[in-house]
Structure 1
Amino acid sequence: MSDKYIMRPEHEFNHAPDASPNFNESVYSNAFDSHSAFGGWMRLGNRVNEGYAELSVCLYLPDGRIACQFRRPPISANDRFEAGGIRYTVNEPLKSVTMSYDGELIIVDNPEDLRNPQELFAKGPRLPGHASWTHIAESPVHGGEPVDDTIQSMYGRDFSLGHFNQHSRATGVIRVGDESWEIDGRGWRDHSWGPRYWQVIYFYRLFLANFRNGDGFMLLKITDQKGNVRRQGVLLVDGQYEEVLDLEMQTDWTAARDPAFVRLGVMTAKRKVRIDGEIVRMAPLRNRRKTEEGVLVSRIAEGFTRFTWGDQVGYGMTEYIERIEDGDYVGYPL
């Protein structure tokens, strides 16, 4: 644990919300099978001062379909992570958690339908579904609560006052209608709290992955509106995190301006590595928020990705978030 952050077992649980109208406390986890190309992610963000939670479920099925759900179920307290069919349980603080969803899933045959989801959500086919996975830690916890106001949280203090994450062994199951698939693999999770608007992020590129040998990474390049850039993250090697000293990336783009392939160069105090990522399936999502200045819109591109690091192949996520201004992605083509 870095001396820049405080991380105690009680941070695994819900925090008392402050008076900020946009206070958010969220948990996220993903899990991918180590042997076949499928898995998914879930997130629940409690916005108790606004009276609802943000629920997201996105499952990448073996046959190429995406099964998903996005809702804003009502909540009246920030005392648990349970709303709209999602439940998040801390089995052992800093060591093991379980996340599950039970409810209806929208079945997406063509991911392009997610770009303008109003019709998909109104008329798209639906099936009963279940997803659950348990994480057993394969790494230390990274992050926590900054020791003072000069220390940034992962995405910045104007996005979350506290944030931690962890790589894990993950086992579970996905069921959609009459079909089911057992997950025997690995995943990643995070937990953050504090005031949050998605549109505070100008643009960032985030990469998460695990490999069969237990290694992994979390890599982030984040840029603010003034052009200031932070490159940060960790490589997980032999059960220990190595802080990133430098990070370079190159993106190949689709005609729709989505990432298709990424080339990453990473340096820590112990090594320099090259990592390649092929986006297997993209979920092109968006977030909208009304403000006094109008409606702010951000692209949230969620790419299920096959990563190659030396002779190891693993699965994880490529996430590109950025504001959309005058119809343009502010970070494209960087």
Structure 2
Amino acid sequence: MDRSAPFTACQYGADAEFTHDPAGIANYNESVYVNFVDPVSEVSALMRIGNRPTMGYSEATVQLTLPGGKVALRAGRAANETNDEWSTQGLRIAPRDATRTWDVSYRNTVAVIATPSLLADRGRQALKNSPSVECEISLTFEASVPMFTIAEGGDCTPGSSQIATDHYEQFGHVTGSVRLGSTTWHVEKATSFRDHSWGPREWASYTGEWLAAWLIDGTAITAYGEFEPTGERVSGGTVVTPDGVFHAIRDYTVYTDYAGEATYSGRNTAVITADGLPSLVLDGTINHFVPVTQRTADRAARMGQMSVRYAGGRGGWGIAEFLRPIAFPAK
């Protein structure tokens, strides 16, 4: 590998790894996201910062799914009118070697929530009344494949939803530690996925599903499915096989009746059709289901986030989301 050249398979390179000019876009959002799943400790996490300088704040999420079904969570906003870096509320996500290596650190408290379903409609109450525990995260993301996009132009989703106009992704591994109170997990090359997007974002405009999965043979998958206002289903994403070849996803069909409820007792079952590969059937047990409500203007959406295990973890594992519009609560 030539480390002097950008590690990229798309139009984005090292310059794109930093922040951009909001250009006066009223609902501008520039976000970075990193997740990981450690099948050894059965700990998984997602960490995200979104800068919304034209709206006057930054938003941060740190979410850990823990053995036994509990989750540890911090999600909130802080005043911010700049777009210089991703650092807020104790969370920092920054490139060390653009296109290859990122550092993720966090030092603050999280709420340890025994009943994640309470987050759907009583999120503030659940966060306030759950035990607050010191949390410290120190991770290094190392890319295993070049940066890529799911479609020409870099749109964040394959459909018409307004999530971002520029977007790229990358698979890799994270190494480091996660401390929650007196318990520390040492993470060694846990499977990881990151993305970076910028442009207008309207959470409640998206109805569909997303998945980042890793199979036991080394295959990595990121899949998107969205329902257009016409009812048409559009899909996107990629399957990266162990030989490093990218296979574009043409169809990602998810079999679920989830409609935005606070709980979901089904499975995460999908069929993926990708160029040059036989159909992939992914049928996973949901270990954790965390219903998060996103509100923008006069609309709201329920984001059901989950950790998934295929064949009890012997076939693979993943992090997935169901996103559904819900009725906006009356004032």
1:322 is matched with which residue: 316, 321, 324? Answer: 324
Alignment partner, residue 126 of structure 2: 120
Report the structure, 1 or 2, having the larger strand content.
1
Tell me the TM-score normalised to structure 1 length: 0.87
Shift of 1:252: 6.5
**Equivalent pairs, count:** 316
Alignment partner, residue 4 of structure 2: none
Alignment partner, residue 225 of structure 2: 221
1:276 aligns with 2:283: yes
Spell out, residue by residue over 1:230-281, the C-alpha distance to the aligned partner (whole angstroms, 9 max, x if none).
1111111022221112332312769856363122222222212222221111
1:302 is matched with which residue: 301, 305, 308? Answer: 305
C-alpha contact 1:60 1:281 (8 A) present in aligned 2: yes
C-alpha contact 1:173 1:183 (8 A) present in aligned 2: yes
Cα distance in 2 between the residues matched to 1:142 and 1:164:
6
1:188 aligns with 2:193: yes
- What root-mean-square deviation, in Å, do the aligned CA atoms of Structure 1 and Structure 2 show? 2.4
Shift of 1:24: 0.4
Shift of 1:144: 8.3
2:49 is matched with which residue: 31, 44, 49? Answer: 44
**Matched AA of 1:245:** R
Cα distance in 1 between the residues matched to 2:236 and 2:88:
32
User: Tell me, what secondary structure is at the counterpart of 1:251?
Assistant: coil
CA spacing shift, 1:103–1:22, aligned 2, 3 Å:
same
Alignment partner, residue 331 of structure 1: none
CA spacing shift, 1:153–1:281, aligned 2, 3 Å:
closer
Pairing 1:14-163 to 2, within 5 Å after superposition:
14-115=19-120, 116-143=122-149, 147=153, 152-154=155-157, 156=160, 158-163=162-167
CA spacing shift, 1:132–1:31, aligned 2, 3 Å:
farther
Alignment partner, residue 287 of structure 1: 294
1:178 is matched with which residue: 176, 182, 186? Answer: 182
Shift of 1:193: 0.0
> Could you tell me the percent identity over the aligned residues?
24
Cα distance in 1 between the residues matched to 2:295 and 2:250:
34
Spell out, residue by residue over 1:123-147, the C-alpha distance to the aligned partner (whole angstroms, 9 max, x if none).
2210111123222111221218955
Cα distance in 2 between the residues matched to 1:233 and 1:101:
29
CA spacing shift, 1:120–1:269, aligned 2, 3 Å:
closer
**Matched AA of 1:13:** F
Alignment partner, residue 260 of structure 1: 266
Tell me the TM-score normalised to structure 2 length: 0.88
**Matched AA of 1:220:** Y
